[in-house]
Amino acid sequence: MTQDEGMAIPRGTAGTGPLLVVAAAVVRDGRLLVVSKKAAPEIFYLPGGKPDRAEGPVEALVRELDEELGVRPLEPRLLAEVEALAALEGVPMRLTVFQAGISREPRPAAELADLRWITGDEPDVRLAPAVRDQVLPLLRRKGLIVRGGCRT
């Protein structure tokens, strides 16, 4: 084994520090787009994932949204940097959230178990802690997510 192989750096980390993840907050008609993956179908969170090595955050966002939903993010703008435990790995995570539109109706890839547009009040949707405790409250404070959604 070479030294490089022995010290392989996991995707989404710089070797130390939190797991780095980028994700999109896509809001339509007062509802937030969340997905679940077949690996953990009971947990919903924002579409996105771990940047590949040397990939910038927006670059990673573009790739992940294409892979997961077959869409392009429109006018992505930084919404928040959130620190929480990663829903799947259970390790410290830094989630960079971009608010964005999407270029077309999402087409969920095979790795996804489900896709929902939520207000956060759905009793059957269990959200990742970062989304439940930080992203959703922020979007509510901004008036973007409303109870019951909105029709406009």
Ligand X SMILES: Nc1nc2c([nH]c(=O)n2[C@H]2C[C@H](O)[C@@H](COP(=O)(O)OP(=O)(O)OP(=O)(O)O)O2)c(=O)[nH]1
The DSSP-derived string for 43-80 is EEE-SEEPPPTT--HHHHHHHHHHHHHS--EEEEEEEE
- Does 65 interact with ligand X (rule: CB under 6 A)? no
Out of 23, 79, 112, 139, which residue is the one contacting ligand X (CB under 6 A)? Answer: 23
Closest-by-Cβ residue to ligand X is: 49
Residue pair 116/124 in contact by the 8 Å Cβ criterion: no
Q: How far is CA 23 from CA 8, 49, 129, 136, in A?
A: 24, 6, 14, 13
Query: Residues 30, 31, 32, 48: which binds ligand X (CB under 6 A)?
Result: 48
| 21 part of the interface to ligand X, by CB under 6 A | yes
Structure tokens at 28: 């339509």
Pairing state between β 112-118 and 48-49:
unpaired
Task: Work out how close the CB of 16 gets to ligand X at its nearest, in angstroms, rounded to a whole number.
Answer: 17
Q: Is 89 in the site for ligand X (CB under 6 A)?
A: yes
Size of the site for ligand X (CB under 6 A): 18
Note whether 128 binds ligand X by CB under 6 A. Answer: yes
61 is a site residue for ligand X (CB under 6 A): no
Token code pair at residue 146 = 């409303």
Per CB under 6 A, residues contacting ligand X are: 21, 23, 37, 45-46, 48-50, 64, 86-89, 93, 95, 128, 130-131
